[in-house]
Structure 1
Amino acid sequence: MANVDQAKANFILSTLKNMEYGSVIITVHDGAITQIDKTEKTRFASNNSSLKNKK
């Protein structure tokens, strides 16, 4: 296992702390982190209850 640069580790931790829903993909080449991808999702409350009232 390669050593992880502290700046990269801090970036990953910060990304995880600030994310509610999503994923983080860490790409490693030759034992070193070369890329970090973040996909964040936004979820909205369901409006099913308002639809039922209109029927």
Structure 2
Amino acid sequence: MASALPFLDQGRAKGIVTTGRERSEEFPDLPTLNELLGNFEVYFWTSFFVPAGTP
């Protein structure tokens, strides 16, 4: 999440979920996919940035 942190901190991007087994210390309000789907963990991730208003 290091590359996304500045965008999330400034409100220029919105986090939806994290992919680790535990919630992020930086963003404890973001649920994990493990919480939503059960038995789910990813060791790498890719982020997508889209313009505001994108459905």
Give the alignment's TM-score, normalised by structure 1: 0.25
Larger radius of gyration: 1
More RCO (CA 8 Å, sep 6+): 1
Give the alignment's TM-score, normalised by structure 2: 0.25
